[in-house]
Chain A
């Protein structure tokens, strides 16, 4: 019975991704680490431009901090999506802003707001790009069309925006079929490399490299990072750590069952809300999902007596959904997130109490660049 329940949870969390991507094979449906984090098969707001796929933060070799956020998930080779420049209502067109929100005193509210805005694309698909820090312009430049890498510089600040290979890697099919009895469908117990669902797909990436002092407060190198997209004053999407909304805020968690209790899915509520309220809003959802996932290893003899305490501890870490990062440390996930970090393996072991430890996809399909903007060239 537990297996059935778990199957339902996992299927619900990711069925959308599966159907969307597998059935249509097309980019109309998004899936990456925060993929398909709105009800149904569509990205938040029905617009891939505003759907944040992944967020990264790491310490570059030169000691500066690199922040990256990707949108336009699952873009097929050959397609050339652009960043959103505005959102019209009947009366007027409002600005679209891509944000990196940085908390540097641990209160889950932003202290540094990095705002990135784009113009409409010109005939060659190039957009102008403006980066503001707490309202003041710190960088202007252009997006890079196609494979080109145009680095925009202003003092110590570097900025890039354009099409890149999707740096996320994960055997999504294997996760959806995690309990399948058919050999090879699930990645449970896998020993040889499996298929990266995100191979040969592109994203639109925004990458900034800047002195950590522009993000931290005096006396502390620690920050928390999340990305949001907004139209006017309305937040459309947000993301901190990988897959929090996708996995832990299901459309149909068991329990409570969103179909039978008649309540709307909380996925979009999550997308449009602020991290500081996460514990109050979503802790019970996360605990419910973890409770089910922690039954996975019971058959193997795990004593469930300590599960509740472990789950409570995990829920303390997972929410608020902020990517915590010590800018003085080159370590990776859970310290920030580097491009090469196998975040899925790291999360799997934690949330399944060791029942699943790897999806056997351990690296990206393309080698990352050693230098800024670090993400690999897009697939053509």
Chain B
């Protein structure tokens, strides 16, 4: 899963993140605004680059008429957009606050419910995201943005069949970049990488007249290419994405990952360090830490991980559920292992999906409870064949149980993605040969 969902500032799967020139699209899974979202005009206005000005205007309108539900709802969306652009977590709490005021004034309003669904997803509060998406769909059953957010919430809740049905419905009603990218994500989870690439190629086509959307789809395309070891193609996709959207952080991170996969760790570290100057992303901090650790520079690695932790803490203070992220960070580092296991259990209870099953397996293994770990690992690999990291965890579990099959799992992890982690891939390589 290669930190696809995790750490970062809110994998706002589904939030209509507009990837802006100069703004930071935080979540790789969140497509640019698309579909028959009647808020697109507002989002578009925001995306002209004057979001802060627009939000100030709405703020004044909401202050002038505190009973204006519409103004509060739009303000909530405005703060969401500012969060996407600046990655400042305080905008998340403000977004939720405004939307909750709007909901008190007009409970069934579509805009408010969609906004609450998207903020909830960004905050990793998936049951709430499902609830609000369903309320939004009650007034607009064919709304593609609401269907997408519903699918995202269901996916995180491990209800895959329902999630895929929501994605299919969204793609049928709104055959657009965002919908196709969600389909790609589903195919990827099912272990059908080639089909996922096919869906992203169609997404790139669909966004072909629109630089920003094409840039976003190309970035996702590069990510999958990299995960299947097609480094040169991935590099090409990231560079094409960056050419369309100069400064696009996810494309730059992709280029850093390509550099790391090619052993050019200096370059990779330089790019991640640069990115972290503008984007407080725990995901990038962890990858930087992994690169330092692979070099044996434990001091710098530690500092990068602590930075990731502090980013997560700020997110948590702004309503984001960070149990999974914090547990994973500690389990990987071998710190606070018992508490990390408890957090992994909580993360699983909140979002019982293949990713938390894998985390639980890994946390149990690191606590020496490898028998239990094995059954969780089996569950995590039921949906698709799993990604390299999940396969690597399984190898470690088999090894802990003293089974010779461990080597096969390490080999499988490397075959899925030879550069899946700067930190763990070298170990997997060594153990696959031992």
Contacts and interface: CB of A to CB of B under 8 A. Distances in A.
B186 A42 contact: no
A208 B346 CA distance: 62
A47 B174 contact: yes
B242 interface: no
B167 interface: yes
A88 B171 contact: yes
Contacts of A49: 205-206, 208-209
Interface in B35-76: 35-41, 44-45, 47-48
A75 B180 contact: no
A38 B36 contact: yes
Contacts, number: 136
A90 B209 contact: no
A157 interface: no
Interface stretch (A21-29, A306-314, A325-333, A356-364): A21-29
Contacts of B213: 28
A192 interface: no
Interface in A42-96: 42, 45-50, 72, 75-76, 79-82, 84-91, 93, 96
Contacts of A268: 36, 142
Given A42-B34, A84-B202, A88-B171, A47 B142 contact: no
A90 B140 contact: no
Contacts of A40: 36-41
Q: Secondary structure at chain B's binding surface: helix, strand, loop or mixed?
A: helix
Contacts of A86: 198, 202
Contacts of B178: 46
A41 B176 contact: no
Contacts of B199: 88, 93
Nearest to A267: B36
Interface in A193-252: 231-232, 234, 236
Interface in B136-177: 140, 142, 144, 164, 167-168, 171-177
B209 A24 contact: no
B179 interface: yes
Chain B interface residue number, banded: 35 or more
Contact of B175 (A38, A46, A91): A46
Given A41-B44, A46-B178, A90-B186, A27 B209 contact: yes
Contacts of A80: 208-209
Contacts of A87: 171, 175, 180, 202
Contact of B171 (A82, A89, A120, A121): A89
B133 interface: no
Nearest to B142: A268
A84 B184 CA distance: 17
B211 A79 contact: yes
A90 B187 contact: yes
Interface string B177-214: 11110011011001000010011011001101111110
Contact of B44 (A29, A46, A85, A89): A29
Given A46-B179, A268-B142, A84 B41 contact: no
A264 interface: yes
Contacts of B202: 84-88, 93, 120
A28 B180 CA distance: 17
B208 A23 contact: no
A288 to B, nearest CB: 22
Contact of B48 (A23, A41, A48, A236): A23
A19 interface: yes
A194 to B, nearest CB: 25
A158 interface: no
A41 B168 contact: no
Given A46-B144, A84-B202, A89-B171, A23 B210 contact: no
A236 B175 CA distance: 9
Given A48-B209, A84-B202, A42 B142 contact: no
A112 interface: no
A26 B41 CA distance: 12
A363 B120 CA distance: 52
A42 B40 contact: yes
Contact of B205 (A84, A89, A91): A84
A41 B40 contact: yes
Contacts of A39: 36, 38
4 closest residue pairs by CB, A with B: A81-B209, A46-B176, A40-B38, A88-B199
8 contacts: A20-B41, A24-B45, A24-B47, A27-B209, A41-B38, A46-B34, A46-B177, A96-B175
Interface of A: 16, 19-20, 23-24, 26-29, 38-42, 45-50, 72, 75-76, 79-82, 84-91, 93, 96, 120-121, 231-232, 234, 236, 264, 268
Given A42-B35, A88-B195, 10 more contacts: A23-B45, A27-B209, A28-B213, A46-B179, A47-B175, A79-B209, A81-B208, A87-B171, A88-B184, A93-B202
